[in-house]
Structure 1
């Protein structure tokens, strides 16, 4: 990671504090290029796109609750499976909803460190990798960790999401 801790954006500090408080082994890296998408992130840290954790927020339509999905960068969310899992229809929310519920902007949503507690569901595919990389609060910060440790740190239910 470049720079001293005092140079880090608040969102990245929030992710680091959350990771440390959950004893999650992690390493934050500031990428040389923007990493808003799974493909950009994979290229920035030189890994398979499947090793990138997409942290996606969905809105449960009837209850207006937000849920956080940790999905392999190689996969797409099956919204019908997600709706069945939640017991109500789901939709992709707008950027304001995501920021309000997580404290992160789209493209930098991290799997932990949200400003509000969210239920977390983790794509079973991620468990097949030795290490994964996720957004660390901005489109220029990512962190490396172990899938099972991420599952424990986020209290995620591992499910088939794609």
Structure 2
């Protein structure tokens, strides 16, 4: 672990500090770009990785953040019913414009623009979960309750069956 965080990771740490929680961003020696890489680097189960995925409303063009358990695939049809519009995959440029972070290190907080957030109900079963912190190798540990509080997200069933 390095004592000085990269700029994007430091931005996430600053936001976490401002939110009033004692959550510490750590930089891993290995990549945590994917949920599997993150779980392997941290030493937790892949299900404990809270992966932040950005989608785009087809009509509104609004960014939608879905925080999913590491093994779950997002059931886009279920989300579309919930929000009342079709979803599109967001490209790297849109993600960067909306969040201020590059794909592979999207944190659940600290985004450039506010966005509707949905949290995978499967994350609630764990005492601790891990989220990306702005770079492909920066993460932080938190609880599902804190995730809900800091994101003001809506808990829903997001996974494909």
Pair in the same fold by TM > 0.5: yes
- Pair 1:104-2:97 in alignment: no
Alignment partner for residue 155 of structure 1, among 114, 131, 152?
152
TM superposition score normalised by structure 2: 0.95
Superposition deviation, residue 3 in structure 1: 2.7
Does residue 18 in structure 1 map to residue 19 in structure 2? no
1:14–1:113: 8 Å Cα contact kept in structure 2?
A: yes
Aligned to 2:134, what secondary structure does the other structure show? Answer: strand
Corresponding residue of 1:81: 78
In structure 1, what is the Cα distance between the partners aligned to 2:73 and 2:54? 13
1:40 to 37, 41, 44: 37
Structure 1 runs (4+) deviating above 3 angstroms are: none
Counterpart Cα distance in 1 of 2:114 and 2:10:
17
Pairwise CA RMSD of aligned residues?
1.0
Runs of 5+ unmatched residues, structure 1: none
Cα deviation for residue 28 of structure 1 reads: 1.6
Structure-1 residue corresponding to 2:138: 141
- d(CA) in 1 for partners of 2:10 and 2:29? 19
Kindly tell me the number of residue pairs found equivalent between the two proteins.
159
The CA distance in 1 between the partners of 2:120 and 2:127, in whole Å, is 15
Q: TM-score normalized by structure 1? A: 0.95
